[in-house]
Amino acid sequence: MKTITKTQYNFPGQTNVYYGKVRDVYTINDQHMVMIASDRISAFDVILPRPIPYKGQVLNKTATEFLKLTQHICPNWFISAPAPNVAIGYKCDPYRVEMVIRGYLTGHAWREYKSGKRILCGVTMPDGLNENDPFPEPIITPATKAEEGHDMDISREEIIAQGIIPEAEYIQLEKYTRALYKFGTLHAEKQGLILVDTKYEFGNLNGKILLIDEIHTPDSSRYFYLDTYAHNQEKGEPQQHLSKEFVREWLIENNFMGKEGQQPPIMNDEFVESVSNRYIHLYEKVTGKTFVKESTEDIERKIVKALTNL
C-alpha cells in the first residue's frame, strides 16, 4: 500500500492550497474545497515521522458517513467523495474555534483535573471525580484553532468578549454541538460504544452556519467499549480506548508530549501496522460496515472529473 504523505496537485480553477497536520485542502474557484485525507498522523499537535497505511481512507470514509447521517441536524459542507480519501464540498469562512464537547473526564481534561484545576475553559468541573467518570452533563470546552503549533483552551466568555465569534452565532454553535454529540452518543451505543468526547468545526457560507471538516473520526473523537466500561470503572482499571489515545500514551511512555525541545520517537514497522489495524477496526466498529482497502492510484483524474460535474 502506497501511503499518502503529501500531495502536490494543480487542479483546474485552483486558487489556493493549504497543508494541514493531516489534510491537504485545495480551494477551487474560491467556491469549493477538495479535502484530501493523507496518511500523516499527528499527536500533541505535532506531525509524527511515519505515515499510517489506510489512515486517510478511514478518516474520510468515517467523516463522510457521519456527514450524511447528520445533515438533518446541522447543514454541512459535504458534496461528494470521488476517491476513498477525498471529499469535495463548499468553501466556507471557518470559525477560528474548535467546539470540543466532553461527556467524560479523560484525556486533556483529566490531566488538567489531576493537576488540581477545577475550571476548564470557564466551565467548572465538580470535585470527587475519578479518571473516565462521566460529567453530570456534557461540557463544552472550546479551543482556538491554531495555524501552527498548539491549539489553546478558551472560554465562551473570552470568545464573545474578544469578538472572535458574535454571541448569537456562538450560541447556535453550542446548540449544534450538543445536538450532534447527542446523535453521536446514541449511534455509538447501538454499536456497543461510548462516545467519550469529540470536536466539531464550523464555517459560515453566505450567513449560514455549516458543519465543516471531519466528524466522529478517530482523530477527532474518543470512544470506550460499552460492555467493559462499568466493570473497569468499578475496579479502577484503565478503559480500553477506541481512538488514537493509545498513540498519545505510547508517545508519553517514550518521553514525548510535544513540548519544546522534544523530538518524537520513531515508530517501528510493527507499531505502525498495529496503528493501521486499530484505525480500520475503529471504522468497522463505529460505522458497522466492513472496511474495503482501496487503491489510491489515479486520484487526480477522479477529482478532476468530480469537479467538472459540480
25 within domain boundaries: no
Q: Is 206 domain-assigned?
A: yes
Q: What is the reported pTM?
A: 0.89
Written as nine digits, the cell of 142 is 472550546
Compute the distance between CA of residue 23 and CA of residue 178 in angstroms, rounded to an integer: 26
In angstroms, the Cα distances linking 246 to 59, 92, 251 are 17, 33, 9
Q: Residue 20 falls within a domain, yes or no?
A: no
Q: Is residue 127 part of a domain?
A: yes
Residue 144 within any structural domain of the chain: yes
CATH code where residue 151 lies: 3.30.470.20
Is position 223 within any domain?
Answer: yes
Q: Is residue 168 in some structural domain?
A: yes
Residue pair 85/60 in contact by the 8 Å Cβ criterion? yes
- The dihedral through the CA atoms of 278, 282, 288, 291 has a sign that is negative
pLDDT of residue 16: 96
Distances (CA, A) of 72 to 35, 179, 210, 216: 22, 11, 12, 16
Q: Quick one: DSSP state of residue 187?
A: H
Domain that holds residue 180: 94-242
Buried b (16+ CB within 10 A) or exposed e, 238-273: ebebbbbbebbebbeeeebeeeeeeebeebeeeebe
Rounded CA separation 303/188 (Å): 32
Tens place of pLDDT for every residue, the chain, 310 residues? Answer: 689 999 999 999 999 999 988 999 999 999 999 999 999 999 888 899 999 999 999 999 999 999 999 999 999 999 999 999 999 999 999 999 999 999 999 999 999 999 999 999 999 999 999 999 999 999 999 999 765 556 799 999 999 999 999 999 999 999 999 999 999 999 999 999 999 999 999 999 999 999 999 999 888 999 999 999 999 999 999 998 887 878 988 999 999 998 888 999 999 999 999 999 989 998 999 999 999 999 888 899 999 999 999 8
Residue 199, classed as helix, strand or coil, is strand
pLDDT number for residue 150: 62
CA-wise closest residue to 242 among 275, 201, 291:
275
Number of domains in the chain: 1
Query: Looking at the domain assignment, is residue 74 inside a domain?
Result: no
